[in-house]
Amino acid sequence: MMLPNYSHKKVGEVAENDFESLPEDALVAEAAKIMRHKDVSSIVITHKGAQKEPVGIITERDIVRRVMAENKGPFKVTVGSVMSSPLVTINPESSVKDAITLMRSKQIRRLPVVDELGQIVGIVTLKSVVGNMPSHNIDLVEIESSRADVERGALCPYCQAVIKGRGNQMSNHIGAVHAEEKPTASNVERKM
């Protein structure tokens, strides 16, 4: 898999503008229905009456863990009571590298992009900026070096093999060759 070359881009340039949102007093059942119909895994939650002011996010995982596993009724529970909050956000002028760093440090995969007025203008996902690579095992330096030569293909962060083509080739390579291996100084040799 080839990584997109976002190293020089700002978050606002790569943010997805097509995202779903609901007010905090909406029912979890409504969120689940939207997720299914729109084929999305998260919904940004906004202040009641302020459509663009985000206060949290609800994911499929939140619904499973905080509603279904606790035997709460999705037709009785509001998204505001089970959403992930406080919401971690980023400014559209921040770099993509800053977004990746923030997502990794906070252990999140979705990062709402908010303007100077505190209104949501988009969302950046870890998958949209690093693809299907196992980002928890990859240093940002490796991500940047993987992007360095997109003409020739992407470099595997484990063995530095050049992976050409589109789709899930990098994920397939890593899964087949390096399944449980984590990059360390002793098992990663860099090409010079």
- Show the beta-strand stretches assigned E in the chain: 21-23, 42-47, 50-59, 110-114, 120-125, 154-155, 162-163
- 113 in the same domain as 19: yes
In this structure, the strands spanning 120-125 and 162-163 are unpaired
- 48 in the same domain as 22: yes
pLDDT per residue as tens, the chain (192 positions): 444 556 678 999 889 988 999 999 999 999 999 999 999 999 999 988 776 889 999 999 999 999 999 999 999 999 999 999 999 999 999 998 899 889 889 989 899 999 999 999 999 988 777 765 554 444 544 444 444 444 456 666 656 677 776 556 666 666 666 555 444 444 444 433
Instruction: Convert the pLDDT of each residue in 141-184 to its tens digit.
Output: 444 444 444 445 666 665 667 777 655 666 666 666 655 544 44
- 147 in the same domain as 64: no
- 42 in the same domain as 122: yes
> Which two three-digit tokens encode residue 91?
């400014």
Range of the domain at 123: 11-130
- Show the beta-strand stretches assigned E in 15-174: 21-23, 42-47, 50-59, 110-114, 120-125, 154-155, 162-163
- 169 in the same domain as 126: no
- 165 in the same domain as 84: no
| pTM to 2 decimal places | 0.65
